[in-house]
Structure 1
């Protein structure tokens, strides 16, 4: 199971709580590095995710099919709330979300497939890694300097924080963009990530016309994309240009279309 995901989600949440406790009203209104969202909107987004995990709303056909636009909708619903109201929702729902994710590590529910609209299908236990990714990525990339506006510091990221986030990203990579990303890979590519969260995987082309890419552990291709795992979290979510982080060995023309297209949500 992905108990490392639970530990990472709890640790990043505790770090965010530490930052929250130091902030003033003016800082909540600063623009985050997440386009169109203030700092308070990033927390509203995490609060919305937590509330939906605890008390899932009934499906609504009017919701945007695009996952990013859906997140915008949920943030927009909270824009009229005070800072205190947003923070209260986050403080109330997040511990319950973590407890539910912890319970989802146990059989028989751990391997149940869960459809996350717009993102793909995952075993239930991997949803802990989803939260680990969300909190880590927003905190470290969108809120804190140098990318974000907040001048607070945290300890350097550890393997225990980064690896679960990367695991979710690799699980989502074949699913989130579907045929759009699949069409960019015609030969196997190795993704070699170093530093905290280090891993090496091979991305293999789809074998059927309507199939998906596969991501498997190990290096089994001549063309390789080299990056730190921390950099991967930034560039694979299009927060930063991949060219600022990646070095390609082998056939660059085979890797460039994939890198230009990749956008993990």
Structure 2
């Protein structure tokens, strides 16, 4: 189960709740590191996700199929709201979202697959890791310095915070980009992530034509290249917030890894 995901999401949300009262109007209007979004828009996005977890909207076929564009749509719906209104939505629904994710760790439905539109299918209990990733990433990489504009500090990341986020990201690699990303992998590639959240996993090419990638723990036989990075940097470069070349060291056949690294974009 993903009880660790709930704990991580809760801790990051608590850290964000300590930052929110420190931000003035100018800070909320500052450009975040998430392209096209102000800091207040980042919080609006997290509030929208929490609201949807508690009160899922009825699907509309006109909504964007691309997950990033869907998030843009939800943020755009909130652009006319005051800072206080955006903060209130986030404050109101986040605790309820955490309660729902906690409940999803128990019972026969915990392993039930859930479709997250534009991102793939995940066992219900792993949705806690999705929130852990979202809040950690947006707070630390989009809102706060050095990547973001806000000059506030939160405690350094540790395994408890980072491991669940990495677990979700690795689960998403085979699903989020589908054939586009799968076409870049012809031989096994190892991701060797160090520091808080450290893990080692191998990205395997599709087992059949037009099939998905597979991500397995550890180092698989026949790995052509290894990509070395800290886990915290992986969160930044695999989401294209920073360039992978600024953080990664490749050993083995670099030409095998570069197409994958150029294409990877975890949402």
Considering the TM-score relative to the shorter chain, is it more than 0.5? yes
Alpha-carbon distance between aligned partners in 2 of 1:178 and 1:50, rounded to the nearest angstrom: 26
2:224–2:256 CA contact under 8 A, matched in 1 = no
Query: 2-side partners of 1:136 and 1:65: how far apart?
Result: 25
* Correspondence for 1:60: 60
| Post-superposition offset of 1:211 | 1.1
Corresponding residue for residue 216 of structure 1: 216
Residue equivalent to 1:143: 143
Q: Report the equivalent of 1:115.
A: 115
Which consecutive segments of 4 or more residues in structure 1 shift more than 4 A?
none
Q: CA offsets, 1:187-219, max 9 Å, x none? A: 001100000000000111001112111111111
- Report the TM-score, using the length of structure 2 for normalisation: 0.98
Aligned equivalents of 1:23, 1:241: Cα separation in 2: 28
CA contact (8 A) 2:9 2:132 kept: yes
In the other structure, the counterpart of 1:230 is 232
**How does 1:27-176 map onto structure 2 within 5 Å?**
27-176=27-176
Gaps of 5+ in 1: none
Cα distance in 2 between the residues matched to 1:260 and 1:210: 20
What CA deviation, in whole Å up to 9, does each residue of 1:42-66 have, x standing for no partner?
0000000000000000000110011
1:253 aligns to 2:259 (yes or no): no
My pick for the range that moved more, 228-237 or 217-226, is 217-226
Shift of 1:162: 0.6
What do the CA deviations read for 1:84-139 (whole angstroms, capped 9, x no partner)?
A: 11011000000000000000000211101000000000000000000000000000
SS at match of 2:22: coil
Distance 2:248 2:55 in 1: 40
**Which structure 2 residue ranges, 5 or more long, are not aligned?**
none
Number of positions where the alignment pairs a residue of Structure 1 with one of Structure 2: 265
What is aligned with 1:184? 184
Q: Distance in 2 between matches of 1:90 and 1:234?
A: 24
TM-score when scaled to structure 1?
A: 0.99
Q: Distance in 1 between matches of 2:186 and 2:210?
A: 14
Residue 263 of structure 1 corresponds to 265
Which residue number in structure 2 is paired with residue 26 of structure 1? 26
SS state at 1:91 partner: helix
User: How large is the RMSD of aligned CA atoms in angstroms?
Assistant: 0.6
**Alpha-carbon distance in structure 2 between the residues aligned to 1:256 and 1:26:** 40
